[in-house]
Amino acid sequence: MRHARGSAPRFWSRGAPAALALTALVLTSSPATATTTATTAAPAASASAGADSHCARLDRVRVPGAERQRAACLAELTTAGTAASGHTDPADWAGLTPKDLAVPSGVPGIQIDGYFPDSSTTNTNHGWNHDAQFVLRLPDRWNGGLVVAGTPGNREQYANDRAIADWVLARGYAYAATDKGNTGLAFHRDGGAPGDAIAEWNHRLTQLTRAARAAVARRYLRPPSRTLVTGMSNGGYLVRWQLENHPELYDGGVDWEGTLWRADGPTLLHFLPQALRAYPRYAAGGPDAERARAALHTAGFPAGSEFLWPYHHQVYWDLTQRIYREELDPGYDGATEAGTPYCAPGTPGCDADYDYAARPDEVRRAVAGIALTGRIGKPLITLHGTLDVLLPIGRDSDVYARMVDDAGRGRLHRYYRIEDGTHADALVDAFPDRLRPLTPCHRSAFTALEDWLARGHRPPASRTVARPAGADAVDLLTSCPLSGRR
């Protein structure tokens, strides 16, 4: 059931002309309604100071179109400082990285927190109770580039701080991230029609990219020389969508296990119901267990990933199916909102029985509204773990790579299948002998993209990147050569 919204108009609505949606981003827009400036750790430089001095132009940097923004001069922009100063939310990035991932430091600069006009209120950061929140970080020692990101899952704007922001900030990039316009497990309540909440994600990243580019130019007195887009899971989906639909905004991107949406499938609405039907029979043992295992393999969950199935059944499969099905097909279970958790097949409206192919055409139209095409317009590097059992590689990035090739854009794409990688790197801590982290592979892909763009050095050909023989946990956490076996 899609909950009706109040009378206040939404800033984003499906089908709104792009010019209307982006009106607030004009550089001559009026000042934000509430802007405050705070200093921590060191006094801010005066407005007349050079662009290279500490927190230079703090009182002149604005994010165009933001309804509210708050700037702070920080001695440390990475989580080495922001976790203590209150300029990040550790709960937002919990579970996404290995516990021993190094935290860089020595990155002073400006942080701007704020939000764009929006009527939904799921994001409670800063006590604002307002969605379309963003964070923009502007290091004193700038390399000329900008990295923008959307968040994985239904998390808020700080979700990438450990996995992505810390590292790119330490390399000198400015960094911006959005909460995508709605957050939390009830994200599907946002919007007026099926698919609207996900469609807003794409709009919000486009909006932030335009605004962040302008804010960067105000801070450093020149526009960014390079704008890169990256993200994991739902954030990876946003990378794909942006490079397909707004390549003019970016120089390239890195897609980390992006979610695949296409009207003809496969999507998670195809393979998760199969997992919900088969896994309880597999877990119960007995004469039907092997048939259930085979059914899971057929659905796309790879052989050898069985040790990950109990956790994903408990934490991910049921919940993910129900809330995304509610977003795209709210009529399936009638007046019930987001289904019945862990219902037995045969229960009315049970998501274990969901059959996308049998649903009305309106469901396909909802998915088509957020679908990917493979028609990327700028260089893209995709990486995905072979033991991903939330978005199985054979039903996701393998398919997307073929879509890119079929669209005639293969020259712009590199695809690395990371042997023994899984969806969330924190699981490496639980299974260090069976899994490898994807974080260092993302960094290898990012630096490969830099070389591709700056020097014309094409990355290694697309391939399966083997787990290095004899590599220990330290090696796997700090290195991921992309030149392994094909």
Listed residue (328, 283, 309) closest to 434, CA to CA = 309
Predicted confidence at residue 485, as pLDDT, reads: 58
Average pLDDT over residues 320-326: 98
Tokens found for residue 227? 């704008």
d(CA 193, CA 411): 37
Predicted confidence at residue 52, as pLDDT, reads: 76
Tokens found for residue 451? 């070389």
In contact, 309 and 295? CB cutoff 8 Å: no
**Which residues make beta-bridge pairs with 416?**
383, 463
- Alpha carbons within 13 angstroms on the beta-carbon side of residue 203 total 30
Helical packing angle, 268-284 and 318-328, nearest 10°: 150
Of the chain, the percentage scoring pLDDT greater than 70 comes to: 89
Predicted confidence at residue 34, as pLDDT, reads: 40
Listed residue (194, 172, 246, 255) closest to 14, CA to CA = 194
d(CA 265, CA 252): 26
d(CA 256, CA 205): 16
Predicted confidence at residue 20, as pLDDT, reads: 25
Of the chain, the percentage scoring pLDDT greater than 90 comes to: 88
Phi, psi dihedrals of residue 317, rounded to the nearest 5°: -60, -50
pTM as predicted: 0.91
Is residue 469 predicted with pLDDT exceeding 60? yes
Is residue 17 predicted with pLDDT exceeding 70? no
d(CA 331, CA 194): 10
Tokens found for residue 92? 């937002």
Predicted confidence at residue 75, as pLDDT, reads: 98
d(CA 236, CA 256): 5
Listed residue (376, 356, 374) closest to 365, CA to CA = 356
Across the beta sheet with 68-74, the strand order is: 34-39, 68-74, 109-115, 133-139, 174-178, 145-150, 226-232, 252-256, 380-385, 413-418, 463-465
Mean pLDDT over all residues of the chain?
91
Average pLDDT over residues 12-19: 33
Average pLDDT over residues 259-280: 98
Query: Which pLDDT tens digit goes with each residue over 140-156?
Result: 999 999 999 999 999 99
Query: Which pLDDT tens digit goes with each residue over 218-239?
Result: 999 999 999 999 999 999 999 9
In contact, 103 and 80? CB cutoff 8 Å: yes
Predicted confidence at residue 483, as pLDDT, reads: 87
Name the 3-class secondary structure at 409. coil
d(CA 94, CA 162): 9
Pairing of the two strands 252-256 and 226-232 = parallel
In contact, 441 and 417? CB cutoff 8 Å: no
Cis link prior to 266 (omega < 30° from 0)? yes
What's 461's DSSP letter?
A: P
Pairing of the two strands 68-74 and 34-39 = parallel
Predicted confidence at residue 252, as pLDDT, reads: 98
Predicted confidence at residue 50, as pLDDT, reads: 60
Is residue 344 predicted with pLDDT exceeding 90? yes
Query: Which pLDDT tens digit goes with each residue over 31-75?
Result: 333 444 444 444 444 444 567 799 999 999 999 999 999 999 999
Is residue 2 predicted with pLDDT exceeding 50? no
Query: Which pLDDT tens digit goes with each residue over 409-445?
Result: 999 999 999 999 999 999 999 999 999 999 999 999 9
Query: Which pLDDT tens digit goes with each residue over 170-186?
Result: 999 999 999 999 999 99
